[in-house]
Structure 1
Amino acid sequence: MTFPAFYQPEQPESNPAGPDHPEKAPYVRMMEAARNAQPDWRRLSFPERAAYVRRLRKLLIRDKEEWIGLLGEEGAKTPMDALFTDLVTAAQGLKHYEKKAARMLRPRRYRRLGFLSERARVLQEPVGTVLLVAPWNFPLQLALVPAAAALMAGCTVLLKPSERLPRLNAKLRELLAETGFPAGVVQLAEGAREAVEGLIDAGPDKVLFTGGTEAGRSVYRRAAGRLIPCELELGGKDAMIVCGDAHVKRAAQAAVWGAFLHAGQACLSVERVLVHESVFAEFTEEAVRLTNSLRYGDRGWRDVGPLATRDGWEKAMAQLDEAVRLGAVVQTKGWEEGVDSPLFPPTVLTGVTPGMKIMQEETFAPVLPVMTFREEREAVRLANAVPYGLSASVFTKDRKRALRLARELETGSCSINNVIVPVSDVRLPFGGMKGSGFGRIRGREGLLAFCRTKTITRERGLAKSAVNWFPYRETAFPYMKAWLSRWYG
């Protein structure tokens, strides 16, 4: 066969550490087990799949005290953060898909298609085997909620949790084993970057990665070489806009909680506050007062705990040092006698400028930079002038202004007079744009992420031919033109 000159067959890439490499063998075996298990898992009815998810949920809640302890010891979470941000949200997500998946994946039917007599049905079928890469900061909800969605869609799951939490991962393995999933349906793979690479090279049908933007780019590049579709939920630099007519005390309370929840170690943290100049002094005074009243430390009952990683502490300190060197002012207490890792006092900064790293790069620490704006357009420009686009919030009493600002912000979600709502409500799709990734988790969209859409048309097939088949009939041509004018003209 002779191809045109412009056709160049693709050459396979040389990959010495490919699927046949000895180091990749365990991941290949896991993938084979998942693929072998998927047809039988897919054949189960929705109620049968839901029974496993229900048991998983009940076992999770049964051991809540142990989970809270592990999340505190290994993840540096306060007891309330462990309960609220991981256990409650994970349980809600499991129950949501357990109860709603069958209805959300119900086939859509269409009767007549134009002048044809066909009927059609649109189905959602499982993509197959899914690789879920979960982060360390919310290890239960960001592992179990997407896993429940994938399982209810009929997929088998390879779960790669963070290697930074070995004891919690061991407990997670016990939980999955006690749930009693059939062999190969849910497998937990431990390891760091090499595990992610080995699992991608083993060829899953879909990858969901939650983590940092640079790591997400690496995952995307590796998956792209095998044309594996990805959902990437990456970092953020979320802005809060406080308008002149806002309920200032509520806005300050929301900013302090949104910035310091889990010591600021959340992709959805409030990382920048843009306050109208008319209420800047009032807002800052209240935010500083609230921050100084927080119970902070690494033991006992507290509002804000320490940072979980040394590298996160060092990056945040470098950002803070640069900001202060360029003119920013620390307005809160806690730094008087010097601080070392893992402690990082909740900090309110004023005097910041848009070009500072602390206003451009993600900060995984309890830092709240505050600056003023004069006009609405300026606030939108400043909010959008970062590489990220995960979420944002707007505080105003004017409903029309709030909706207008929310639409103009380049983010995947926006909360009005509240913060961190989109990821807290499992019914809502959540995800970002720009450097914050693409795709959606949670809600119906998060379920469809693990499905392939298939269209099936049906004709009774009684006639030997159709009006638009060969041979074209000249006598039918004027009737088809008349039909076109009648239906669409």
Structure 2
Amino acid sequence: MGNATHTATLSADLVDRLTRHVVSGGGEKTATVAPFTGKPLVELPVSTAGDVAAAFSRARAAQRDWAAMPPRDRVEPFLRFHDLVLDRQTEILDILQWETGKARRHAFEEVYDAAAGTLYYARQAPRLLRRSRTMGAVPLATRTYVHRQAKGAVSVITPWNYPLALPVGDAVPALLAGNAVVAKPDTQTALTALWAIDLLIEAGLPADLWLPVLGEPAQIGDPLIEHADYVAFTGSSAAGAAVAQKAAARLIGCSAELGGKNPMIVCEDAHLDSTVEGALRACFSNAGQLCIAMERVYVHESRFDEFTAKFAAAVGDMTLNSELDFSADMGSLTYQRQLDRVAAHVDDARAKGATVLAGGRPRPDLGPLFYEPTVLSGVRPAMSACAEETFGPVVSVYAFTDENDAVERANDTEFGLNASVWTKDVARGRRIAERIRAGTVNINEGYGAAWASYGAPMGGMKRSGLGRRHGHEGLLRYTEAQTIASQHFVGLAGPPGTSGQMLAKAMTTGARLMKRFRIR
């Protein structure tokens, strides 16, 4: 464990450079707080409902010319953005740590993700958006293709826990698809998103295509849906359900990545040392404030005692501090409300008979929002930590008897976002994975293998979300599929003078021939 005394903060010039992008005309300001110190960090402009309407008006005007560009030309700013993110990583790592309190190693995951995810879509967008030929109504005579039109102006609403990876991950494919984006990042971590917008404009993105607004959902949440042609939302399941209802009322599409109570299954043949090391990342990255983090660990009964002893010892050895370097294994929580929720879950479990194997207490000596990484055993359904998402550095361990038991318990949740299976037999791991009702399952990894497979879809089942980011769907969700068909040589009603009876007979014969010769 360690501590740090910070004597510097974010420069006024940097803050001014970034906040000039916010669409705000009222002059109202709001202050954010540094999680490491509890002291004021920056003042940010606040947007009104009118500002949101103005942002969409500007975005739509800019989007017309942008959508008219060939996709191969739209990719150029994004290729430059990839390099700039990696080149300027020290600056954004500092901003990320100041705004979130996360350890630098976890901040770097966001930097890598912003660069790598952008590069994937910059490479793939021209191919994904190319018109695609499909079978016409009448072979040779009907020529049909699918054209992809941009939705128009898209709302991207993102939370505070991954303030670089999530805004970039949703906005970049929307922009590459030919849309404009009006973004609402969480105010506490807005500078990080504003840094990405500033950098992409520097890389050549035309002005007004990615416009940020700042404010509380009660003030600007509804306008962000009322003016949008599509909504990409990341947040809690309750908030996601409300967004989906409002989008449905307007008959516009939405995607939502929501909460999780993610299970990790440790089979009897797992290599325990590497499993323990992987569990540290899976459970405590970003202090557990990660929707795809593991909060439930199921260990085969024959290895339960050995695993829990090794895991608890490793958790107790983790380094916590607020240094702006790579020395910490875990950083601070971001909000007081998260600290309160973590403490409430642990205290409730302890009071009802659970055993704290590691951690279990706040660490105000390190900073106002630090809480030790915590391992609980003996957690039962009556305890809030059992089924509710903690969203903090708390994990419960359980023993299971066989694969059926493990799968049944892994699926015993309203959530279905991510899961993890640990075994030396990868084929067995895949068989188990396919029985788990979760949008992604990692074998011998907690979350990174599936998340960073950008060509594969990522999202949740059940109350963990709608739609997918990443993969083809991550870009095509921002488009409307338009079918264009042209008729040649002969009309669908046959040559002039063809009777209805003759047409029916010809079409019947044709249908049988096309089946016989596998034309259809």
Q: How does 1:133-148 map to 2 (within 5 A)?
A: 133-148=157-172
Quote the residue 1:48 is aligned against.
Answer: 73
Give the conservation status (yes or no) of the 8 Å contact 1:354–1:382.
no
Q: Deviations over 1:351-407 (max 9, x none)?
A: 122453212111121112100111222211111111111010111233443222211
Quote the residue 1:310 is aligned against.
Answer: 336
User: Do residues 76 (structure 1) and 104 (structure 2) align?
Assistant: no
User: Do residues 192 (structure 1) and 216 (structure 2) align?
Assistant: yes
Quote the residue 2:173 is aligned against.
Answer: 149
After superposition, the Cα gap between the structure-2 partners of 1:481 and 1:330, relative to the gap in structure 1 and judged at 3 Å, is: same
Q: How does 1:223-242 map to 2 (within 5 A)?
A: 223-242=247-266
Give the conservation status (yes or no) of the 8 Å contact 1:313–1:341.
no
- Secondary structure at the aligned position of 2:299 is classed as strand
**Identity percentage of aligned residues:** 34
Give the conservation status (yes or no) of the 8 Å contact 2:362–2:372.
no
Quote the residue 1:121 is aligned against.
Answer: 145
Give the conservation status (yes or no) of the 8 Å contact 1:312–1:364.
yes
Q: TM-score, normalised by structure 2?
A: 0.84
What is the RMSD computed on CA atoms of the aligned residues? 2.4
Give the conservation status (yes or no) of the 8 Å contact 1:298–1:343.
no
Give the conservation status (yes or no) of the 8 Å contact 2:233–2:257.
yes
* TM superposition shift of 1:424: 2.5
* TM superposition shift of 1:120: 1.1
After superposition, the Cα gap between the structure-2 partners of 1:165 and 1:470, relative to the gap in structure 1 and judged at 3 Å, is: farther
- Secondary structure at the aligned position of 1:321 is classed as helix
User: Do residues 437 (structure 1) and 461 (structure 2) align?
Assistant: no
After superposition, the Cα gap between the structure-2 partners of 1:152 and 1:344, relative to the gap in structure 1 and judged at 3 Å, is: same
Q: 2:116 aligns with which of 92, 99, 119?
A: 92
Partner Cα distance (1:167, 1:479) in 2: 67
Partner Cα distance (2:465, 2:501) in 1: 53
- Secondary structure at the aligned position of 2:92 is classed as helix
Quote the residue 1:368 is aligned against.
Answer: 395
Q: How does 1:312-327 map to 2 (within 5 A)?
A: 312-327=338-353
Partner Cα distance (1:155, 1:299) in 2: 39
After superposition, the Cα gap between the structure-2 partners of 1:351 and 1:44, relative to the gap in structure 1 and judged at 3 Å, is: same
Partner Cα distance (1:258, 1:162) in 2: 24
> Which AA in structure 2 matches 1:397?
K
Q: 2:432 aligns with which of 391, 399, 405?
A: 405
Partner Cα distance (2:334, 2:177) in 1: 34
Quote the residue 2:482 is aligned against.
Answer: 454
* TM superposition shift of 1:466: 2.6
Q: How does 1:126-275 map to 2 (within 5 A)?
A: 126-193=150-217, 194-201=219-226, 203-275=227-299
Q: How does 1:332-481 map to 2 (within 5 A)?
A: 332-333=358-359, 335=361, 341-420=368-447, 421-460=449-488, 462-463=489-490, 466-467=493-494, 472-481=499-508
Partner Cα distance (1:73, 1:465) in 2: 66
* TM superposition shift of 1:418: 1.4
Q: Which moved more, 1:280-289 or 1:294-303?
A: 294-303
- Secondary structure at the aligned position of 1:159 is classed as strand
* TM superposition shift of 1:23: 4.8
Aligned pair count reads 465
Partner Cα distance (1:358, 1:255) in 2: 18
* TM superposition shift of 1:468: 10
> Which AA in structure 1 matches 2:464?
S
Give the conservation status (yes or no) of the 8 Å contact 1:389–1:434.
yes
After superposition, the Cα gap between the structure-2 partners of 1:146 and 1:337, relative to the gap in structure 1 and judged at 3 Å, is: closer
> Which AA in structure 1 matches 2:474?
G
Quote the residue 1:27 is aligned against.
Answer: 52
Q: Which moved more, 1:264-273 or 1:335-344?
A: 335-344
Give the conservation status (yes or no) of the 8 Å contact 2:414–2:462.
yes
Give the conservation status (yes or no) of the 8 Å contact 1:245–1:396.
yes
- Secondary structure at the aligned position of 1:452 is classed as strand
Partner Cα distance (1:474, 1:438) in 2: 48
After superposition, the Cα gap between the structure-2 partners of 1:466 and 1:371, relative to the gap in structure 1 and judged at 3 Å, is: same
* TM superposition shift of 1:88: 0.5
Give the conservation status (yes or no) of the 8 Å contact 1:393–1:414.
yes
Q: Deviations over 1:46-85 (max 9, x none)?
A: 23211222233333333211111111111111111111x2
> Which AA in structure 1 matches 2:104?
P
* TM superposition shift of 1:234: 0.7
> Which AA in structure 2 matches 1:51?
E
Quote the residue 2:129 is aligned against.
Answer: 105
* TM superposition shift of 1:469: 10
> Which AA in structure 2 matches 1:442?
H
* TM superposition shift of 1:447: 0.8
Q: Deviations over 1:254-293 (max 9, x none)?
A: 1121001111010010110011101111111111121112
Q: TM-score, normalised by structure 1?
A: 0.89
Partner Cα distance (2:210, 2:361) in 1: 46
Structure 2: 5+ residue stretches without partners: 1-46
Q: Deviations over 1:426-472 (max 9, x none)?
A: 22210001111111001211011111111111222x43663399975
Q: Which moved more, 1:363-372 or 1:399-408?
A: 399-408
Partner Cα distance (2:371, 2:362) in 1: 12
- Secondary structure at the aligned position of 1:371 is classed as strand
After superposition, the Cα gap between the structure-2 partners of 1:86 and 1:428, relative to the gap in structure 1 and judged at 3 Å, is: same
- Secondary structure at the aligned position of 2:145 is classed as strand
After superposition, the Cα gap between the structure-2 partners of 1:30 and 1:446, relative to the gap in structure 1 and judged at 3 Å, is: same
Give the conservation status (yes or no) of the 8 Å contact 2:354–2:376.
yes
> Which AA in structure 2 matches 1:275?
V
Quote the residue 2:91 is aligned against.
Answer: 66
Partner Cα distance (1:213, 1:273) in 2: 22
Partner Cα distance (2:362, 2:122) in 1: 51
User: Do residues 292 (structure 1) and 316 (structure 2) align?
Assistant: yes
Partner Cα distance (1:391, 1:314) in 2: 25
* TM superposition shift of 1:479: 4.2
Quote the residue 1:9 is aligned against.
Answer: none
Give the conservation status (yes or no) of the 8 Å contact 1:132–1:147.
yes
Quote the residue 1:17 is aligned against.
Answer: none
* TM superposition shift of 1:325: 1.7
Quote the residue 1:279 is aligned against.
Answer: 303
After superposition, the Cα gap between the structure-2 partners of 1:54 and 1:285, relative to the gap in structure 1 and judged at 3 Å, is: same
Q: Which moved more, 1:395-404 or 1:341-350?
A: 395-404
Q: Which moved more, 1:74-83 or 1:100-109?
A: 100-109
Structure 1: 5+ residue stretches without partners: 1-21
